[in-house]
Amino acid sequence: MTNTSGSMTSTTPGLVNAHHHLYSALARGMPAPRATATSFAHMLELVWWRLDAAHDVDSIYWSAKLGALEAALAGTTCIIDHHESPNAIEGSLEAITRACEEVGVRVRACYGVTDRWGDNGVLHQKVSPLSTMTKAAQRGLEECERHIKAGGDGMVGVHAAFSCSNETLEAASELAQRLGVGVHIHVAEANDDLQAGARLAHLAKDNWLLVHGVHLDRELAGWLAHNPRSNMNNGVGYAKPTTRPNPVVLGSDGIGADMAEESRLAYVRLREFDTSQTPDTVAGWMHNARRLFPASETDEVTWRYPAAENAWHAAFTTAMRVESVKVNNQLVVQAGTTTRVDEAEVRHKARAAAQRLHQRMESL
Ligand SMILES: [Zn+2]
């Protein structure tokens, strides 16, 4: 089709970010870590576990709103989110869902439970598989249950096997089965989680969403969310998704939601590993994501490029711009900006919320 300015455009279904952390949208500009991380677990402790501990419901809302806005602008209409905020558990999924609805993007939310915060509020670097479930983990499961029973699109979230007791892993699995949803969990992202395969083998189901799997030592049932940018950023290794039997989908792991860009990165990283691969492999991962989040098929993204739907064009055309986005047949992006919320206002208020959040981080 030709738009009013005479340039050629093309349309695709909505894109899906199969693993996001909307709570990290306000991380940009946060205080520098107090030390240089010496391992993946140390980095989590220095950076990400300080950020999630500093969140309150207001900052969760603005983080999700900014993240949703940036997703919409990139043509990503469906977000599968994994959320943690140990000092603001109750109401967190409602805040995320509301923020996404206001922008006009779809979200499948979960609270990611963990036993790393002991009942005394102390952070445990190592969680024994044989320890008992913490109150915080129980409250996280209850938040997932409340969200799903209220009719929300959701999953049961688990941070990772290494930060949970067996009791918690089993309770999450049991709750997911009871609610008819999958478990969304980080799996063997780094060497710190090498036991994940052994500990989850008897629990994992086909509707689970296994995130990363970089160091996974066996086959595990579920979808595999591959996050190449995050894996490179953290230096954890390459997940080699083409060597896995699982259906592969792409996620950003919290670094934005520009899935066209993520797919181009996934492609060049794949080629570095195996030059016999073609763009059709990554296009297949994008297609898998539409099966995982079928509502994306009914969404419509119009690109300022005449062949956005062609895998070979999409793999090599950088900075393919989004002109408009329709969700549920309603325009949520028009002429490159959001229609339901004022882009400038959201960015301004999110920046103020980020400053408050970063101040709280300093005091933790
Ligand atoms: Zn993640």
pLDDT at 48: 86
CA of 159 to the centre of ligand 1 (A): 8
pTM of the entire predicted model: 0.96
CA of 331 to the centre of ligand 1 (A): 30
CA of 183 to the centre of ligand 1 (A): 13
pLDDT at 354: 97
CA of 12 to the centre of ligand 1 (A): 26
Domain ranges of the chain: 10-362
Q: What architecture does CATH give domain 10-362? A: Alpha-Beta Barrel (3.20)
Query: 255 with 196: CB under 8 angstroms?
Result: no
- Residue 114: φ, ψ to 5°: -155, 155
pLDDT at 7: 60
- Span between the terminal Cα atoms of the chain, in Å: 54
CA 118 vs CA 8, 98, 135, 161, 162: distances in Å? 57, 30, 8, 16, 14
pLDDT at 3: 47
CA of 43 to the centre of ligand 1 (A): 13
pLDDT at 35: 87
pLDDT at 126: 84
Give 90's pLDDT tier (boundaries 50, 70, 90): very high
Helix axes 57-73 and 343-362, enclosed angle (nearest 10): 140
What is the Cα 27 distance to its own chain's centre? 14
DSSP strand E in 90-182: where? 106-108, 112-113, 156-160
CA of 215 to the centre of ligand 1 (A): 15
3-state helix, strand, coil in the chain (%, to 5): 45, 20, 40
CA of 109 to the centre of ligand 1 (A): 13
Does the pLDDT at position 57 exceed 90?
yes
Give 259's pLDDT tier (boundaries 50, 70, 90): very high
Does the pLDDT at position 33 exceed 90?
no
Total number of residues shown for the chain: 364
CA of 82 to the centre of ligand 1 (A): 7
CA of 229 to the centre of ligand 1 (A): 11
Supply the mean pLDDT for the chain. Answer: 95
Q: What is the mean pLDDT of residues 331-355?
A: 97
CA of 2 to the centre of ligand 1 (A): 39
Does the pLDDT at position 2 exceed 60?
no
With b meaning 16 or more CB within 10 Å and e meaning fewer, what string describes 165-198? bbbbbebbbebbeebebbbbbbbbbbebbeebbe
Q: What is the mean pLDDT of residues 191-218?
A: 97
Query: 325 with 303: CB under 8 angstroms?
Result: no
